[in-house]
Structure 1
Amino acid sequence: MPGGSIYVQPNEKYTGSSPQWWYEKFWREDAPTRRKYRYVKAAVGFVVGVALGLRFGLAGGSAFTGLLLAGAVAGGDWLLHWHAFHKTAVWRGARRGEAITGRILRRSLIRHGYHVLDGRAIRGQASIDHLVIGPGGVWILDNESWAPDIEIACYAGRLFIGEKYGTKVAKPLVEQAEAFSELLTRETGVPVSITPVLVVHCGMLPKEGVVMGEGLTFVKPRTVSRLIKSAGPGALNEAQIELLARTAARELQRV
């Protein structure tokens, strides 16, 4: 059924008449139309493949060339549609954004000397999904998703999420970064400035995959590790990284 997953517990947000439920419903109902157009594209690919075979003197193999190109066209068309649907998985509730981001961070950062802590909070305050400590500094990261057609942009320093201001999204995470900075600096004696990042799993970001504004950085999952590593080494040495990681593990409540 639309909105269902064996890996994610049901949530009212993704059922009934929610945008996610209707998105899946229309997607499934549109499957026959997508197949029809895929057959047409494959047929055109077959004709072009045969023509190319004849053009280059492959009279005996022109049919094979046509079949090969038809298969490539059909496969490419299927892959493009699958990718478009797969990108909405977090928004639809079929996958968890924090699990995706956590896996990306560990695969690409730990070998470069970074520590990744998941699900942390100052006692009595809101939690964040990931805390990253490494040679380039310290980051807190949360995960979010919006409808596929929602554009995220910054104009004249002001964030916009669709037609709404992004201040209500940015302000809490910026404040959490400040609170985490104060706690770690106080407990370790190491001056810390934490960069807040929001990983966007569904929604429209610019081609480069990054939007900055109001103290917050919006980034696509595929770009998040590159963004962190672009800070370069030198902000923290190995002893400071180890001290901050141990202190964070001890002082920040796991949620």
Structure 2
Amino acid sequence: MPGGSIYVQQDEKFTGSSPQWWYEKFWREGAQSRRRSRMVKAAVGAVAGFALALRFTLPAPVLYAVALGGVVAGIDWWLDWRAFRATAVWRGRRRGEVITGRLLRRSLGRQGYRVLDGRAIRDQASIDHLVIGPGGVWIVDNESWSPDTEIASYNGRLFFGEKYGTKTAKPLCDAAQAFAELLGRETGIQISISPLMAVHCGMLPRGGSLTAEGVTFLKPRLVARHIRANQKALLDAAQIELLARTAARELQRV
């Protein structure tokens, strides 16, 4: 960008050639078309409301027509806004790690889980969240792909659209192993760590989750539910506290 530092790499999300920039441009240009479509839908809703009022001999059918038309328009606007907001992390307008961290603390904090954000092993691995609780230990990373990218598994292989996903899954599995080895060595508690990926934008299968190549990919709102679903009490309160203190001491903050 003009006036930017030559020492700081520019983020392509904010350049005129990025998919994100074009997505926002087309979204703005399509506003008038969406308004026209919304007016048509509202008109259909109004006609339906008027017809229903006459069918059931309700008083003031015009009011029912206006009310149903307004409801249809409101729902259509909300669906459009929700679809656009779902791309906010991909567009660089929101930070995925902030969203997921808030969801994890809100859902798990009162159930004996400890959530540590932004942790790393020097020159080896870094992750967005480390979750330690009664059901075990998890690492959670955040990622976002374009809205039309299908995340799928075929014969055990991970795919993002037509591309293999091994380069995304393997580093996260390696990080889980590295974190488990460090925490086990420092605490004497032998643990295994499950890697999770919070997907902020992209097309996951119905249900919002997928497991492939050792990593479970989920919508952010489902991460805490997935962790709580492990009903086995693998760690007691003292072990959770020891692991959390050790992680806070031995792992770098990023």
TM-score normalised by the chain length of structure 1: 0.94
Distance in 2 separating the partners of 1:199 and 1:46: 41
Q: Shift in Å at residue 156 of structure 1?
A: 1.2
Distance in 2 separating the partners of 1:40 and 1:208: 32
Equivalence map 1:2-151=2 (5 Å): 11-58=11-58, 60-151=59-150
Distance in 1 separating the partners of 2:91 and 2:43: 34
Distance in 2 separating the partners of 1:208 and 1:46: 34
**8 Å CA contact retained: 2:149, 2:203:** yes
Q: Shift in Å at residue 13 of structure 1?
A: 2.9
Distance in 2 separating the partners of 1:101 and 1:32: 34
Distance in 1 separating the partners of 2:160 and 2:238: 40
Aligned length: 245
Q: Secondary structure at the match of 1:121?
A: strand
Q: Secondary structure at the match of 2:210?
A: strand
**8 Å CA contact retained: 2:42, 2:72:** yes
Distance in 1 separating the partners of 2:247 and 2:135: 17
Q: Which residue of structure 2 lines up, in the alignment, with residue 3 of structure 1?
A: none
Q: Secondary structure at the match of 1:70?
A: helix
Distance in 2 separating the partners of 1:14 and 1:23: 12
Q: Shift in Å at residue 248 of structure 1?
A: 0.3
Instruction: Extract unaligned runs of 5+ from structure 1.
Output: 1-9
Q: Shift in Å at residue 16 of structure 1?
A: 1.4
Instruction: Extract unaligned runs of 5+ from structure 2.
Output: 1-9
Equivalence map 1:236-255=2 (5 Å): 236-255=235-254
Distance in 1 separating the partners of 2:162 and 2:168: 14
Distance in 2 separating the partners of 1:40 and 1:172: 49
Write out per-residue CA displacement over residues 92-131 of structure 1, whole angstroms, 9 at most, x where no aligned residue.
0000000000000000001000000000001222311000
Q: Shift in Å at residue 15 of structure 1?
A: 2.2
Runs of 4+ in 1 over 2 A off after TM superposition: 10-15
Q: Shift in Å at residue 27 of structure 1?
A: 0.4
Q: Shift in Å at residue 197 of structure 1?
A: 0.7
TM-score normalised by the chain length of structure 2: 0.94
